[in-house]
Amino acid sequence: MEAADLFCHPLWFICSLALLALLWVQRRKSWRPDTCPVDLTGKTAIVTGASSGIGKAVALDLARRNARTILACRCREKGQAAVEEIRRATGNPQVQLGLLDVSSMASVRAFARRFLEKGSQLHILVNNAGVSGLPFAVTAEGLELTFATNVSGAFLLTHLLLGTMVASAPARIVNVSSFRHFCVRKVDLKLLTGEERTKNASQAYDCTKLMNVIFTTELARRLQGTGKHMAACAVQKWYSASSD
């Protein structure tokens, strides 16, 4: 059957209608930020990868709710542009830029050190920064690039800031994952160093998203019963435009 005949097939038409109906219902039921009255005055939030895409949208919403919002970005120019745009849109002067390359553990440690030296509380950490489609590469620190960016950086940053977040409780940790974690069933820790290699960049991304879910699940378990109002959750995204 040729492509033109396939698109004219009645089954294609029925499936298209069903998909449109599903999307319409989902949109009707979807949650919208403007329906949530939460005010975050006095709260501090860090969002990684916040110069574009999901991270920027999250930072914008947090700033609109009056949180002191730190955009942790790799690129100074793009990050500062996002900061200024969010300040103009929200009128919140407490939107700030912090330089952070989550693929570099040295950068993660330096970012955390600068933040902790200020003695600030931290109530919200959104580990959003991530990459996909990168060719196999090992960083100077001996970590495979995709896994360093999507897994190791977020893990280390959370570890370094967790004590402050517990002291600042109630607090929330949000790790951005993906529905594609369902595409793999298990992962080998040797993937983190490149000792073992995935078949392709797509599989590497899928494995990192499963690691995000496993990390978040275990973190949430350890936070339970501590007597602190702490929570960790993994957000499953579908597709979005992002470049940080």
Answer left, alpha or beta for residue 225, where phi above 0 means left and psi between -120 and 50 means alpha: left
C-alpha span between 189 and 114 (Å, rounded): 30
What architecture is the 129-170+177-237 domain classified under in CATH?
3-Layer(aba) Sandwich (3.40)
The per-residue pLDDT for 208 is: 85
What was the pLDDT predicted at 7? Answer: 42
pTM > 0.75: yes
Instruction: Give, in order, the Cα–Cα distances in Å from 5 to each of 9, 10, 16.
Output: 6, 10, 15
pLDDT at position 13, please? 65
Helix-then-strand count for the chain, H and E: 8, 6
Taking 70 as the pLDDT cut, the residues of the chain under it are 1-13, 25-33, 179-183, 227, 234-244
Q: What is the pLDDT of residue 110?
A: 99
239 belongs to the catalytic site: no
Extract long-range pairs of 57-65: CB within 8 Å, 24+ residues apart.
58/126, 58/128, 59/86, 59/95, 60/86, 60/89, 60/90, 61/33, 62/124, 63/87, 63/89, 63/90, 63/92, 63/94, 63/95, 64/89, 64/90, 64/92, 65/38, 65/39, 65/40, 65/41
Annotated active-site residue in 111, 147, 155, 205: 205
Domain boundaries defined on the chain: 129-170+177-237
Handedness of CA 140, 146, 152, 155 (dihedral sign): positive
Task: Provide the pLDDT for residue 179.
Answer: 59
